[in-house]
Amino acid sequence: MRKMSDKQRRMITFIERFLSDKGYPPSIRDIQAGCAISSTSVVDYNLNILESRGHIRRHADVSRGITLLTRTQTSDSLVPVPVIGMIAAGEPIPVPTPDTWDVAAVSETMEVPRELTRGREDVYALKVKGMSMVDALINDGDIVLMQHVSAVDNGEMAAVWLKGEKEATLKKVYIEPKRIRLQPANEQMKPLYADPDDVEIQGRVIAVVRQVA
């Protein structure tokens, strides 16, 4: 892949921005105007070079038939995840049902890079309400990505429902003889010990996403 001329680089950038902005590719004359090029034939000329270099693909006689080859490869590494509800200290944790799995049926969905879910299929998202999970380094408004499991390995972070206290928390779970140790992610804080019968594992924490600004 040779180095592009400055003009060609501007064109590629323009096409990218136009595409993600408007949702459809630019026409030759859009590029001409957007990159301050004097003639459509100059655009055509450089577009052909960009195609022969493998940066784009052109479809003859098709209006706006320009496809980006460099970036667009990654397009399907976005995974839709259903946001099935809130998680708060005093409220039961929403549990996914066959219904809520259907992305189309859920009121809200978010899209996350496939690297975050690592290809897991049964991932859902919860929005954190309240400051009760700061000991898990999780803030009000954070999004928690969960995987639906009924048991977790030692040391994994899980959404836990404490039946007796009627309380939901996110803790690292350690199974010990005759009791379960619930350790906050902030390891300076003291663990909580609970009876196995009192603990309901609702899911495993996959990731946390916090949007600040």
Partner DNA sequence: GTGATTGTAGAACAGGTGTTCGTTATGCTT
Partner DNA sequence: AAGCATAACGAACACCTGTTCTACAATCAC
Catalytic center residues: 132, 171
Tokens at 139, concatenated = 């803030």
- Ranges within 109-148 binding a copy of itself (CB under 8 A): 109-116, 131, 134, 137-139, 147
Total residues in contact with DNA, by rule CB under 7 A: 24
Separation of CA 45 from chain center: 39
Which of DNA, a copy of itself, none does 185 bind, CB closer than 5 to 8 A by kind? Answer: a copy of itself
Check residue 29 for interaction with DNA (CB under 7 A). Answer: yes
27 lies in the binding site for DNA (CB under 7 A): yes
Q: Which is nearer to DNA, 46 or 183 (CB)?
A: 46
User: What count of other Cβ atoms lies within 10 Å of the Cβ of residue 34?
Assistant: 17
CA distances from 51 to 55, 66, 90, 187 (A): 6, 10, 59, 55
Strand-strand pairing, 192-194 and 179-183: antiparallel
Q: What distance in Å separates the CA atoms of residue 103 and residue 121, rounded to the nearest whole number?
A: 12
User: Closer to a copy of itself at the Cβ: 33 or 131?
Assistant: 131
Binding status of residue 59 toward a copy of itself by CB under 8 A? yes
Q: Is 87 in the site for a copy of itself (CB under 8 A)?
A: no
Picked from a copy of itself, DNA, none, the partner binding residue 74 (CB below 5 to 8 A depending on kind) is a copy of itself
Query: What token pair was written down for 116?
Result: 């975050």
Q: Which value, to the nearest 10 degrees, does the dihedral of the CA atoms of residues 111, 115, 119, 120 take?
A: -70
Which spans of this chain sit near a copy of itself (rule: CB under 8 A)? 19-20, 22-25, 27, 57, 59, 62-68, 71-78, 80, 103-104, 109-116, 131, 134, 137-139, 147, 156-157, 185-188, 204-213
